[in-house]
Amino acid sequence: MRKVAKPSITTLAISALLLLSGCGAGPDAQTRLSSQLTDGIEANIGDLRLVNVLLVAQPDGSAVLVGTVVNNGKTSDRISAIIANSVEATLTPFAPALNIGGKAVFSGDSANAIAVFPEINAKIGDRIPVEFTFSGSGKLKVDLLVREKSAEFASVNGAPLTN
């Protein structure tokens, strides 16, 4: 007759820890269900980083860019153009500068740039293809979510910058 080995206390403790920590909870484990914290996208091209970038639809059929472009590099760059659904944005200032360690902030209290897409007629909830062109870093294509002009985006508009 063969003797069957009994599990040791250590084996039982490790098994219990795995079950209690959720590692064995399968495809619906809470740790597997991560989500994007904002509606805006994040993307990189070279030393440039786009952070929380999205579009806000306006009542007149235009859309306004919201988000930040950060230059983490050792050379300055410039935003040459932004095109959404074949509509080129009106940029203020024209070709916003991205100095070393600097950033272009679109919308909000600390905004230093504005990008308005006239007559784009974007539908709320759609994802729109947008192409950013930088003078030094090249082109970056992303899909941006179109948000409604309400809640935290209620004050977003294409009004001129105030100094």
Alpha-helix residue ranges (DSSP H) falling in 91-158:
none
Six-digit token string for 157: 């508009």
pLDDT at position 159: 86
Under 8 Å between Cβ of 40 and 136: no
pLDDT at position 84: 97
Q: Is residue 94 part of a domain?
A: yes
For 57-93, the DSSP string reads: E-TTS-EEEEEEEEE-SSS-EEEEEEEETTEE-EEES
Give strand pairing partners of 67.
106
Mean pLDDT, all residues of the chain: 85
Domain that holds residue 129: 41-153
Q: Is residue 129 part of a domain?
A: yes
Q: What are the pLDDT digits (tens) for 58-114?
A: 999 999 999 999 999 999 999 999 999 999 999 999 999 999 999 999 998 899 999
CATH code, domain with 53? 2.60.40.1890
Q: Work out the average pLDDT over 136-143.
A: 96
> Residue 19 carries which DSSP code?
H
Q: Is residue 8 part of a domain?
A: no
pLDDT at position 56: 97
Q: What are the pLDDT digits (tens) for 143-160?
A: 999 999 999 999 999 888
How far CA 13 is from CA of 21, 25, 26, 74, 78, in Å, comes to 12, 17, 20, 52, 58
Q: Is residue 20 part of a domain?
A: no
How many whole angstroms separate alpha carbon 121 and alpha carbon 88? 13
How many whole angstroms separate alpha carbon 57 and alpha carbon 121? 8
What is the count of structural domains for the chain?
1
In this prediction the pTM is: 0.76
- Asked if pLDDT for residue 20 goes beyond 70, the answer is no
